[in-house]
A = this chain, B = another copy of it.
Amino acid sequence: MRDVTLAIAGSGGDGVITAGDFIVQAAARKGLNAFMLKSYGPQIRGGESSARIRISDRPLYSQGDFVDFLVVFSWKDLARFLDEIKLRKGAVVLYDEADKTPPEEFPIDAELGAELIPVPFKKMAAEEIKVPLTKNMVALGVIAELLHLPLDAIKDAVIKKFGKRKPEAAEVNIHAIDLGKKWVNDNLPKGTQIVLEAEGTDEPKLVMTGDDAVAFGALHAGVKVFAGYPITPASPILEFLSKWLPNFGGTVVQTEDEIAAISYAIGASWAGRQAMTASSGPGIALKQEALGLAGIAEIPLVVVNVQRVGPSTGIPSKSEQADLYQAVGGTPGDIPRVVLAPSDVEDNFQVAIEAFYLAEKYQIPVIILSDQFLGERSETIDEKVLFARKRVISRQLAKLNGGEYKRYKLTDTGVSPMTIPGMRGGQYITSGLEHLEDGRPTSSGTIHQVMSEKRARKLHLIAEESGFVRTYGDPEAELAILAWGSSKGAVREAVEAAAEQGLKVKAIVPQLIYPLPEKVLDEALQGVKRAVVIELSYGAQFYRFLRAYYDGLPAETYSYARGGANPLLVSEVLEQIQKYAQEA
């Protein structure tokens, strides 16, 4: 196999995620591609958790629909993840023999013909290593041996983690890994192995989560003030920047609430420094009023929304794509804003840079619509692609020539000269009131119209910025899948699978959602007769948004939309393609 998906399920204390992290890091060191999803129950410590890792030497776009290889510490814990962990036919399942659940009660469909192998994980850890907590490391050894994962790289990762601080811990863990390896060789016939035949390159890869990537991208783009308030699944952005931003001369403030957070960012940007805030649905809702201020006052601002399942508290630890309406229309009045959607971990980094680029160039608030599925997953990333796009810009300052300075001067582009404190003669009033060119408030409808037009002109230019639409698949296809954000992964894979089945289909995934890059979409849709809009939103928000804003949809446009929590499957998309595609 060149492409393996494995999952480990257990309780918090079982070290499931740690084991998964080591596997991903090992893969990265070997230049392999890896993709890991973590999943937790509602309990903070000691509850059920699972890690799901896919490894390949081919590019990976999704978590993989089916699991080839499953490690179960406790059947009860596994039972909580049945929505998420579907086994492939003939999968290998290793379970801790210490769990006394009778086989007929295993929550596994007998028809799958899975190979069930009891392993004394707990026993080996307790009796041979004398450290029950190393159960996960024993399992790691077993997994590595069965899959032919690079054991040296795994050990390197372990050593790096405990590093200089705890050399004994590293030793114990490595011992446990070796024990697991040995157990396989001593106990299992050779044929049990699912050998991963992927060949790594010599180029080690980076391992990053989407939240880290967006934070890192912001840092690279020059963010100087980040203000946030903790919320799942956006807190890692706050935590990343708390740790690393000060070194780069910036400051992080954990504010009293989300309103204060966006307010700090607005104040900082108005004063002349690049600023960002991040949250998830409920917190983003609280920011809407201030967002309108940034819109009418034309203050550059980046707001990250790591979407989770809504409405309200919803399912905080799961993903959904149902905050699109809020991004496009959550603020009263007609406010100019930009909505960008990253579609994988690396894209989170790139989109953060683009967000600052657009925010600063057009003096406009930019919303990044990430989601839990992007934010919390880990992916291996090629270092070289990371800094490839070069759109890092700083504040574009007005040139003052002693004449009367008009902050909101009517211009062809809609972008007006901006000053910041310290620029002599650059003083002006900023306000959320409708205003004249010099910033003074007005209640004239005529001026309101002119200023609305001015602000909207920026959107026309932004829609024409290049590089914001990705297409995959057969350029000649009559069927197009339209998708956005994190749905891209499953869609791209489905399109490739469809091609293998001889089905002609292309996928179109805009990175810029608002304003829509209409011309590029028009081109991408040339020759397309049927389209299916695919998304994880019960209300089909993207489908409706396209209907509302885009004139170029094929007459035959269908919607495939469902609520979130469970990530989109390749097979779901493929089913849609099969339904509507012509044969090649």
Closest residue on chain B to residue A549 by CB atoms: B544
Measured between C-beta atoms, what is the minimum distance from A218 to chain B in Å? 22
List, in ascending order, chain B residues with CB within 8 A of A286's CB.
Answer: 259, 286, 288-289
Measured between C-beta atoms, what is the minimum distance from A16 to chain B in Å? 17
B310–A333 touching, CB < 8 Å: yes
Within A267-281, the residues touching B (CB, 8 Å) are 280-281
- Once the chains are docked, how many angstroms separate the CA of A318 from the CA of B539? 33
Measured between C-beta atoms, what is the minimum distance from A386 to chain B in Å? 30
- Once the chains are docked, how many angstroms separate the CA of A456 from the CA of B444? 42
List, in ascending order, chain B residues with CB within 8 A of A312's CB.
Answer: 289, 292-293, 295-297, 333, 335, 432-433
A292–B285 touching, CB < 8 Å: yes
Q: Which one of B284, B315, B323, B332 contacts A322 once the chains associate, using CB atoms below 8 Å? A: B332
Within A243-293, the residues touching B (CB, 8 Å) are 259, 280-282, 284-286, 288-289, 292-293
A444–B83 touching, CB < 8 Å: yes
- Once the chains are docked, how many angstroms separate the CA of A318 from the CA of B445? 9
Q: Is A401 an interface residue (CB 8 A)?
A: no
Closest residue on chain B to residue A297 by CB atoms: B312
B281–A315 touching, CB < 8 Å: no
Measured between C-beta atoms, what is the minimum distance from A78 to chain B in Å? 15
List, in ascending order, chain B residues with CB within 8 A of A12's CB.
Answer: none
Residues of A contacting B: mostly: mixed
Q: Is A320 an interface residue (CB 8 A)?
A: yes
- Once the chains are docked, how many angstroms separate the CA of A452 from the CA of B565? 12
Measured between C-beta atoms, what is the minimum distance from A354 to chain B in Å? 23
B334–A456 touching, CB < 8 Å: no
Closest residue on chain B to residue A258 by CB atoms: B289
Within A300-316, the residues touching B (CB, 8 Å) are 307, 309-315
For chain A, the count of residues having a C-beta within 8 Å of the partner chain is 69
Q: Is A563 an interface residue (CB 8 A)?
A: yes
List, in ascending order, chain B residues with CB within 8 A of A564's CB.
Answer: 445, 448
A443–B548 touching, CB < 8 Å: no
Measured between C-beta atoms, what is the minimum distance from A293 to chain B in Å? 5
A330–B330 touching, CB < 8 Å: yes
A332–B281 touching, CB < 8 Å: yes
Q: Is A106 an interface residue (CB 8 A)?
A: no
Q: Is A538 an interface residue (CB 8 A)?
A: yes
B282–A292 touching, CB < 8 Å: yes
B323–A284 touching, CB < 8 Å: no
Q: Quick one: given A286-B289, A333-B320, A565-B448, are A538 and B456 in contact (CB under 8 Å)?
A: yes
Given A292-B311, A452-B538, 15 more pairs with CB closer than 8 A = A41-B443, A259-B286, A282-B292, A286-B286, A288-B330, A295-B311, A309-B434, A312-B432, A313-B433, A314-B448, A315-B443, A318-B445, A334-B538, A544-B548, A547-B547
Chain A residues within CB distance 8 Å of chain B: 41-42, 83, 259, 280-282, 284-286, 288-289, 292-293, 295-297, 307, 309-315, 317-318, 320, 322-323, 325-326, 328-335, 431-434, 441-446, 448-449, 452-453, 456, 537-539, 541, 544-545, 547-549, 562-566
